[in-house]
Chain A
Amino acid sequence: MRALGPGSLSSFLKIILDVVYVCLWVGVCGVGIGILVALLFSFDPTFMGHIHLDSEDGDLTGKGPLLAWVLFCAGAYLGIILAIVQRLRKVFVTLTAGDPFHPDNVTRLRLIGLLLGGLEISRYVFQAASRFLDQDHDGRGFSLTAWFAVLVVLVMSEVFREGARLRREAELTI
């Protein structure tokens, strides 16, 4: 199976990314609605008084601000993933068109690398905050794989920069 061009593996992956992109948008909208609902409950617990939410830890309506904060963090996390998938989709559009060394792919890949790094750092911050609030919280620690992926993507962006330069040179060779 071909890797580039129409009807290739790239176009198949592009379709998968399109589906993921739509799902992420639905997720972000859902989280946004969840934040609004949580804030409504936090400002006015008697709002929609006939609704009473309970969890294992007790009354949920009293934990509106905390819930809103957690949902905000989840929304931000989803937003970063959405931005990464959006850039990836654009990269795969160029791959499907058979033009991998498009100059814009350099910026896209570098941004993906930086966003992946930001995602990892935000995970550490969120885990530290969770540990501060809940002493028993046991999250995933430093991930060598994640940072390796960040570095690989950043190096790949530089490889694409060189590819774009060579493509430009080839275009201007008569």
Chain B
Amino acid sequence: MSIRVHLDRVLLERRMSLTELSDRVGVTLANLSILKTGKARAIRFTTLDLLCRELNCQPGDLLVFDASPDDGDDEGIEA
């Protein structure tokens, strides 16, 4: 899949851990880990809204379209 999630980079810039983000947005650590590691197939607008609110960023900061050739892994989104 050509959509990549840059959650780890945004978290690094905010100096925030995944556990802390999980506590703030109310999304389980397991689900955030799925999102961060690129295994997620979809993201709800409500989740995106919560993430952008807490991380004080735009959806475009978290999600990036990368048209480079696929790695052959269409199971999830690469982080």
Contact = CB atoms under 8 A, between A and B. Distances in A.
Interface of A: 168-169, 172-174
Nearest to B41: A172
Interface in B11-39: 27, 31-32, 34-35, 39
Interface of A is mostly: mixed
Contacts of A169: 41-42
Nearest to B27: A174
Nearest to A169: B41
A113 B75 CA distance: 30
Interface residues of B, number: 13
Contacts of A172: 34, 39-42, 76
B44 A173 contact: yes
Counting chain B CB atoms within 10 Å of each CB, the highest count among A168, A169, A172, A173 belongs to: A172
23 contacts: A169-B41, A169-B42, A172-B34, A172-B39, A172-B40, A172-B41, A172-B42, A172-B76, A173-B40, A173-B41, A173-B42, A173-B43, A173-B44, A174-B27, A174-B31, A174-B32, A174-B34, A174-B35, A174-B40, A174-B42, A174-B43, A174-B44, A174-B47
